[in-house]
């Protein structure tokens, strides 16, 4: 297993405990592209602390009588109202003149208003029942709880290009002709790439520029590092405390679509089910715009919205060795994973910082998507949908065989995208080792081999070493992108165990990446933690 299932309980966050898995890669990396041993200790620009969504914690005024919103963790005195057509919306605007109802935002593309009010009864009195109403939920730049990065996790540092498999490529034209939207805290005017930024503010900037929250700058810098020719459309939808709401995100999405964005990056989220946010996401998808979002840093088995919305590319976090990070939320809606610990990024003053959280993972996926859409190595420009499908089909298998709730479909590997059009390349990878229990209650080690090349693997020997001995297997025939999993029974123990697996020569074929032919993992049972 590439990521551990540790049993750890932060003070106010429950870590999900599904499956009882607990394998951790050794601190010594097994492949050159993933090596990060010399990375400086990242101190770091962690995502800022998440809000507690309890009714007693919010500071904003709460209109009397809006108990319904407060009971759901929503903002009191705010609703989204969607009308059947534009005429109905305009008629409503006439009706509320002189009443205690304020228009906080217009989302004309979906015939929706974001309203503020002092009395829920007064709002109800001017609705005729044909509208769809929804709550507005608080959203914040995702927090990274203290102590939620497990011991032994390896920061990425400045090795992103190596990790993605693109260190040897000329990236100077990647992203050319494409617009990428970053919905965040805004981008510093001192950023080295600010000349290619078009900035809009749905939330006013502070008069004191020195207090700018650097989250948006760091996010955008990661995208720029992968696809430097992309135009960046920055929408400030969160203040310098990192606070926003689902209505502002929805407005930002619609503005990005109208301004011609091909991809939208949202490195923040919340946990209420926001109707207006779902509507905005659906509108973007209908217009061929891809949305990439962070899954959240709460260490729980729940994906934050909008990453949880169908069709959104939800990205979780791993360390430089590809191990799941404890803070990274898990769930059925996760799409893929990318580095999220100590990722080199740019600070508000243009200096290098080390950025941690799923907020750093999402823009890596976004940058890879832009690169796939625009790269001349591939045959012609791809739509965001086609590029996303290509990236997904070429993810590196991680964790449990197939999809799992920690890694989704696997880890982003842009290098595989770059070679996907080249025939007869051999790359047999020892993809993962995963401890689980079979249907008979026997504890087993699952060893998964993946074909990351472009031709069929034949007669590939596999050797597995456990504390109980050695086992041998053979991959008879395995097509490109496919996986094959072998199982070895292992004893139940209260002590840590080390597993080592390796792949031999693939039927005389020359392997283009021998660094991923072996792996070493340490399994620590819950009782030994």
Give the per-residue pLDDT at 493: 82
CA 297, 325, 45, 157 torsion-angle sign:
negative
Q: What is the pLDDT of residues 284-294, one digit of tens each?
A: 999 999 999 99
Give the per-residue pLDDT at 527: 62
Question: Is 184 an annotated catalytic residue?
Answer: yes
Strands 179-184 and 138-140: unpaired
Q: What is the pLDDT of residues 208-253, one digit of tens each?
A: 888 999 999 999 999 999 999 999 999 999 999 999 999 999 999 9
Give the per-residue pLDDT at 448: 97
Name the active-site residue from 48, 244, 356, 359.
359
Boundaries of every domain in the chain: 44-51+140-394+408-417, 76-135, 424-528
Name the active-site residue from 47, 66, 184, 240.
184
* Band of residue 145 on the pLDDT scale cut at 50, 70, 90: low
Domain pair 76-135 / 424-528, same fold: no
Q: Average the pLDDT over each of 2-11, 55-64, 119-128, 220-229 and give the range with the smallest value.
A: 2-11
Domain 44-51+140-394+408-417: state its class: alpha beta
Give the per-residue pLDDT at 53: 35
Question: Is 66 an annotated catalytic residue?
Answer: no
CA distance 477 to 157: 38
Q: Average the pLDDT over each of 45-54, 382-391, 422-431, 446-455 and give the range with the smallest value.
A: 45-54
Question: Is 46 an annotated catalytic residue?
Answer: no
CA distance 63 to 70: 10
Percent of the chain predicted with pLDDT > 70: 85
CA distance 397 to 414: 14
What average pLDDT score do residues 386-409 get? 96
Q: What is the pLDDT of residues 251-272, one digit of tens each?
A: 999 999 999 999 999 999 999 9
Name the active-site residue from 80, 215, 361, 398.
215
Beta-carbon contacts of 404 under 8 Å, excluding residues fewer than 6 positions away, are none
- Is the domain 424-528 a CATH 2.30.30.90 member? no
Which strands sit side by side in the sheet containing 334-339, from one edge to the other? 197-201, 231-236, 179-184, 263-266, 290-294, 313-318, 334-339
76-135 CATH, one of 3.40.390, 2.60.40, 1.10.3470, 3.30.70: 3.30.70
Beta-carbon contacts of 318 under 8 Å, excluding residues fewer than 6 positions away, are 2, 3, 324, 325, 328, 337, 338, 339, 340, 341, 361, 398, 407, 411
CA distance 432 to 449: 7
Give the per-residue pLDDT at 207: 87
């Amino acid at each position: 297993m590439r990521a551990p299932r540790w049993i750890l309980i932060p003070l106010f966050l429950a870590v999900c405990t599904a499956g009882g898995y607990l394998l951790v890669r050794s601190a010594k990396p097994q492949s050159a592209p993933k090596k990060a041993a010399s990375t400086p200790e990242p101190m770091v620009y962690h995502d800022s602390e998440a809000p507690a969504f309890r009714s007693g914690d919010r500071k904003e005024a709460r209109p009397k009588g809006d108990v319904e919103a407060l009971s759901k963790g929503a903002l009191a005195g705010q609703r989204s109202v969607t009308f059947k057509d534009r005429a109905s919306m305009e008629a409503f605007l006439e009706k509320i003149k002189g009443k205690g109802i304020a228009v906080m935002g217009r989302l004309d593309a979906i015939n929706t208003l974001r309203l503020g009010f002092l009395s829920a009864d007064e709002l109800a009195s001017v609705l005729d029942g044909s509208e769809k109403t929804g709550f507005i939920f608080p959203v914040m730049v995702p927090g990274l709880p203290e102590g939620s990065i497990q011991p032994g996790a390896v920061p990425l540092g400045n090795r992103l290009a190596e990790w993605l498999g693109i260190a040897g490529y000329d990236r100077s034209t990647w992203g050319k002709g494409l617009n990428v939207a970053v919905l965040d805290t805004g981008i510093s005017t001192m950023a080295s790439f600010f000349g290619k930024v078009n900035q809009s503010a749905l939330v006013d900037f502070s008069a004191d520029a020195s207090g700018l929250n650097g989250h948006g700058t760091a996010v955008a810098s990661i995208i720029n590092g992968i696809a430097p020719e992309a135009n960046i459309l920055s929408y400030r939808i969160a203040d310098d405390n990192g606070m926003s709401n689902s209505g502002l995100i929805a407005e930002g999405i619609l503005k990005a679509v109208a301004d011609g964005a091909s991809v939208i990056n949202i490195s923040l989220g919340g946990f209420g089910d926001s109707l207006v946010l779902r509507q905005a996401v659906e509108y973007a998808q209908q217009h061929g715009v891809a949305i990439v979002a962070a899954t959240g840093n709460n260490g729980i088995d729940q994906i934050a919205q909008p990453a949880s919305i169908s069709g959104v590319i939800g990205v979780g976090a791993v360390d430089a060795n590809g191990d799941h990070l404890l803070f990274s939320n898990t769930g059925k809606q996760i799409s893929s994973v990318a580095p999220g610990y100590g990722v080199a990024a740019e600070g508000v003053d243009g200096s290098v910082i080390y950025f941690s959280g799923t907020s750093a993972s999402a823009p890596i996926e976004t940058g890879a998507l832009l690169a796939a859409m625009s790269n001349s190595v591939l045959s012609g420009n791809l739509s965001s949908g086609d590029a996303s499908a290509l990236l997904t089909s070429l993810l590196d298998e991680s964790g449990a065989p197939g999809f799992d709730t920690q890694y989704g479909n696997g880890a982003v590997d842009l290098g595989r995208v770059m070679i996907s059009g080249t025939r007869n390349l051999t790359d047999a990878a020892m993809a993962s080792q995963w401890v689980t229990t079979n249907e008979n209650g026997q504890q087993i080690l699952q060893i998964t081999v993946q074909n990351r090349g472009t031709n069929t693997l034949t007669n590939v020997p596999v050797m597995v070493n456990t504390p109980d001995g050695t086992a041998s297997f053979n991959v008879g025939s395995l097509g490109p992108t496919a996986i094959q999993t072998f199982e070895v029974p292992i004893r139940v123990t209260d002590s840590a165990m080390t597993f080592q697996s390796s792949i031999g020569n693939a039927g005389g074929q020359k392997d283009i990446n021998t660094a991923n032919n072996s792996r070493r993992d340490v399994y620590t049972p819950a009782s030994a933690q």
